[in-house]
Amino acid sequence: MLIAQVTDLHIGFDPDNPAEFNRRRLDQVLHRIIELHPRPELLLATGDLTDKGDSDSYRRLRVALEACSFPVLPCVGNHDHRGNFARHFPDVPFAGGFVQYTWEKGPLRLILLDTLEEGRHGGAFCAERAAWLAARLAEERDKPTAIVLHHPPVETGIDWMTSNPEAVWIARLRDAMVGADNIVGLIAGHIHRPMTTNWEGRTLAVAPSTAPQVALDLSTIDPDRPDGRPMIIADAPAYALHWWNGAQLVTHFDDADDHVELARFDEGMRPLVRHLIEERLGDG
């Protein structure tokens, strides 16, 4: 099962501009994903779908996503607005007023969470949302399951874009997952950078953004002493591919720029390819 992921689209950062920078970056990524072979079976859009949560940005986002011939599963992030989202994505399920739902149609079960608290930049996960997650996990203890959310529940090392690992919302998320040994990984966004780590014994994969990326700087930041460091950079728009091979969830990251090719599979490369495959087939 092959799952594509886009995150942190921030449509509407430049409102009323038909040639908006973030929209063009999203279109570039969607075009790359649509042209992949094999083509993904679905697309996750993991929050910060818009920049200001306005209705017109969701309308334009829906138009952009109509280019996809496969299902698109969105969740919301801190820049989103549930009411405006619901007006333009009425088919996306809500649970108790939150954008939380499951995807049951493949060999990997997906549970999409809502970590939005409107007006707050960081994550949130109230007792009601945690109880919903615990109930969904209790329904199915055997089928491989991935958790999808906007905010990664970890300290990232990027001082101005990180969570407090002792936050109450993270504790609620952790407690709701206790005993669910069939969770094979978590998929998130928010950081505007590719990142992987281990959280509570499970792999957490954070996708880069289609909007501009966050600069990689792991030094501490003093909010009272601006030091001129780069914060946002115009690196290429990017995405993630998650491949469920029946045993592990394997994540790849790529950007949508054209790549300089140094080798192709031609007659000159055929001996190497044949040797590598024969060697692999001979193992074990």
Reported as half-sphere exposure (CB side, CA atoms, 13 A), residue 175 has a value of: 15
Contact 163, 152 (CB under 8 A): yes
> Using the 8-state DSSP alphabet, how is residue 11 labeled?
B
- Annotate 34-101 with DSSP letters as a single string: HT-SSPPSEEEEES--BSS--HHHHHHHHHHHTT-SS-EEEE--TT--HHHHHHH-TTS--BTTB--E
CATH classification at residue 197: 3.60.21.10
pLDDT (mean) for 163-184: 96
Specify burial of residue 229 (Cβ count, 10 A radius: 0-12, 13-18, 19+): exposed
Confidence label for 15 from pLDDT (cuts 50, 70 and 90): confident
Q: What is the pLDDT of residues 125-151, one digit of tens each?
A: 999 999 999 999 999 999 999 999 999
Count Cβ atoms below 10 Å from residue 13 Cβ, excluding itself. 18
The pair phi, psi for residue 242, each rounded to 5°, is -110, 120
* Full-model pTM: 0.96
Q: What is the pLDDT of residues 43-84, one digit of tens each?
A: 999 999 999 999 999 999 999 999 999 999 999 999 999 999
- pLDDT > 90? residue 283: no
For residue 278, the enclosing domain spans: 2-282
- pLDDT > 70? residue 284: no
Could you give the number of structural domains in the chain?
A: 1
Candidates 178, 200, 175, 196; CA nearest to 187 is: 196
